[in-house]
Structure 1
């Protein structure tokens, strides 16, 4: 059996960059992911960058990474945020086509020399004499290596919460990674739990965009990568802005007694700058409204992403609250938050 210099566990944003970087440094690399078709999957909203995150993408690009280049290829909406402030805090944000981005990143990974890709569920890190020597899959098969890089995202013993119902999952519709957390505990690592939320996805055919404010991309659009020529990128879609109001907030408040966030079901620490909609109405109770951006999931689907409405409230509360928002009065949810 071939021994690798580096094994990367997880094929998301970080895993792709880690595997590509190591292979380009002359190492023999194996990227192991639970589902090869999901390499490069955009777990949350189909966008790259934004305030602060856009700086990070450009730093990765300067170091030879692929995320900025891939975003330029599949981007459908380019916009620099924070234009009203100084250039130091401008943040480029690119709305991408979710399916095309995934395919583009997989193509780049599979084209890289010295980089192999295999599908598998890693359940254990193998250690001998205090040094990593490989990994073992849930079926008992072993891959040997000198170094392991963990880029497991939301999958380690992942739990999904919708209201007071919770069930195992790494992403909605995908199983979690079980076993690896226990392996880390046995090696002496402390394993904690983080929390993140996603908004519902909705059917764009049930939205009244005339009630919303169009948010076109910048003209001319700005690419992410230093290697992309400006004429190579173009806007192909529009985002829309609307707002919650007191009717929305009242509907959300009525559901707080069934919120896993406020009943103690969720114990993980959430992201500081991406609070859920129920967290917003509690922490910022004096604000009469909150912005909601309706964004395309891609060019070949009618599904839209309701940015600003991340939630773990019950589905009936999500339906009621969404339908108080201008333009979403008749909206149909395709996937709950």
Structure 2
């Protein structure tokens, strides 16, 4: 009935979609298995993409040739660049999206991708022979052969939904949990754990009083995620709103604490620290009189509203009573209550940097199965797993991103070497080279790599090279171009910065914190005419590289030092237990994670500097 596939992807969430698209685009024959064809790429939680550090990840996926950026652009209803008041390392693109259009665009994109087949049914197990995966087994007993398998099960593995004292099996509201895979993997020697996440109630937007809330518009000149010409910036945007909880809301919520599954011990899994439920917030921060609530439309043509900041698993009657005490929500009608969901995950220290498992050859894990949270984190892992599954089939070396290459590299390196005991979320603070890993230069960093592996097309590469060359030419010209005091001093006074007594280069003016290229353009008409020949991206790139030149140089020097350790390979058969001078914890951690380089070994939790020195001596021998 079925041919043998190169790659079977189990699960069609954000990770599964990216994995299937990437593997197929690289020439692999792919089967995407999902329990429901109508929920492909479902935005299970908030209808948004990007945000702090997450927006950088979406741009990186796009730069490599993935699809999340393009799908986000096509389904966008609002765009904002967060942290504009801070330095460029912190600028983070974020979009509100039309939930239904997002899922539809992903499905259409996959259906238009040659080499992708679909199968709607639960996968209940793997076919494993001699510690190598050779296919999957479905719930009705069909066995489908494959050279590689990518598991992207999300919250479905033995998922349990909690609403107050009620609990029932499910991977998402209205959908069944997946059974069998966890038990089989544990039988094969994998370590499993439990995590939890949650979602807020959805309400009828027609029942809200927006006049009592603060309106939140998108950017005046919205950008987009994708570097390609396949999408256009929004010409029209839909607003969001902000409101707040209050003392009455908190008191109403507290009446249900005795029935809360989070407080009475029924939920065993750890939830995301940085996205707590509303009951957790008012319990942990009892001194706070109010908490912010973001009122987010679910799409262009729906009245459904996502109540961001009000994630909860309290009984539905308590949720209803409390939500109607929020300013503007006095007459709110609920579409469905919020809930918490517990699910199985597998500590990611059991993986290689390629996201292939250490215990079973040709088996890859991506997304929440690895203990992460967030669409963007999942999509980036799916992309890397899909790439490496396709390369495994071709017997090519794994595609790996270093910490200095991308936020995706930081994410995977953190997971493999440090593991996670709570849902892992990406932040700019996790990246030590964040000034190099900006959202504006992801194409300059990664498109050539994506092109080399057959994911980013020739058009992408050509566009990136044009930007790179234009930026280099512009930087060189700005270092040469000199402006006279007579032309610019009056403007410098208006911009509250020191006047000059002799000609000064545009480069030196750009180093001043009060000045940017847009302001300097207003000082000299000839300069403005010249700069107008370059597009906005090249001008922005030149400005950032000149203004932060010394800081960028310092980070590049740190990267070079790190790369010396990354180039120091450790044989996979190296026996750490035979080095008596290593600490007991060092031996245990090194033996478990099996680092591929000295640099990776240096980032393993529990491996001391002394262990590293000893290891270096032994490897040197």
Distance 2:315 2:14 in 1: 30
User: Which runs of structure 2 are paired with 1:286-325 in the superposition (5 Å)?
Assistant: 286-325=287-326
Distance 2:91 2:100 in 1: 27
Match of 1:46 in 2: 47
SS of the residue aligned with 1:294?
strand
Q: How far is the alpha carbon of 1:230 from its aligned partner?
A: 8.0
Contact 1:221 1:235 in 2 (8 A): no
Q: How far is the alpha carbon of 1:229 from its aligned partner?
A: 7.4
Q: How far is the alpha carbon of 1:82 from its aligned partner?
A: 2.4
Query: Which structure: larger Rg?
Result: 2
Greater strand fraction, Structure 1 or Structure 2: 1
Match of 1:189 in 2: 190
Match of 1:221 in 2: 222
Q: How far is the alpha carbon of 1:332 from its aligned partner?
A: 0.8
Match of 2:256 in 1: 255
Contact 2:73 2:232 in 1 (8 A): no
Match of 2:90 in 1: 89
TM-score when normalising by structure 1? 0.97
Q: How far is the alpha carbon of 1:254 from its aligned partner?
A: 2.0
SS of the residue aligned with 1:196?
strand
Distance 2:221 2:173 in 1: 36
User: Which runs of structure 2 are paired with 1:94-109 in the superposition (5 Å)?
Assistant: 94-109=95-110
Distance 1:85 1:326 in 2: 31
Unaligned runs of 5+ in 2: 339-621
Distance 2:9 2:312 in 1: 31
Distance 2:4 2:232 in 1: 44
Q: How far is the alpha carbon of 1:231 from its aligned partner?
A: 4.7
Distance 2:280 2:30 in 1: 42
Contact 1:156 1:176 in 2 (8 A): yes
Q: How far is the alpha carbon of 1:300 from its aligned partner?
A: 1.9
Q: How far is the alpha carbon of 1:238 from its aligned partner?
A: 0.9
Contact 1:292 1:308 in 2 (8 A): yes
SS of the residue aligned with 1:160?
strand
Q: How far is the alpha carbon of 1:150 from its aligned partner?
A: 0.6
Q: How far is the alpha carbon of 1:55 from its aligned partner?
A: 1.4
Q: How far is the alpha carbon of 1:90 from its aligned partner?
A: 2.2
Q: How far is the alpha carbon of 1:17 from its aligned partner?
A: 0.4
Deviations 1:34-74 (A, max 9, x none): 11111111111111111121111111111111011011011
Higher mean C-alpha deviation, range 223-232 or range 111-120: 223-232
Match of 1:236 in 2: 237
TM-score when normalising by structure 2? 0.53
Distance 2:281 2:84 in 1: 24
SS of the residue aligned with 2:93?
strand
SS of the residue aligned with 1:60?
helix
Taking only aligned residues, the RMSD between alpha carbons, in angstroms, comes to 1.3
Deviations 1:184-242 (A, max 9, x none): 12221122111111000001111000000000111111101111478542343110000
Unaligned runs of 5+ in 1: none
Distance 2:84 2:286 in 1: 28
Distance 2:255 2:337 in 1: 18
Tell me: higher relative CO, structure 1 or 2? Use CA pairs within 8 A at least 6 residues apart. 1
User: Which runs of structure 2 are paired with 1:87-166 in the superposition (5 Å)?
Assistant: 87-166=88-167
SS of the residue aligned with 1:287?
coil
- The 3 A distance-change label for structure 1 pair 132 and 229 is closer
Deviations 1:140-174 (A, max 9, x none): 00110111101111111111010011001111111
Match of 1:199 in 2: 200
- The 3 A distance-change label for structure 1 pair 248 and 195 is same
Contact 2:126 2:133 in 1 (8 A): yes
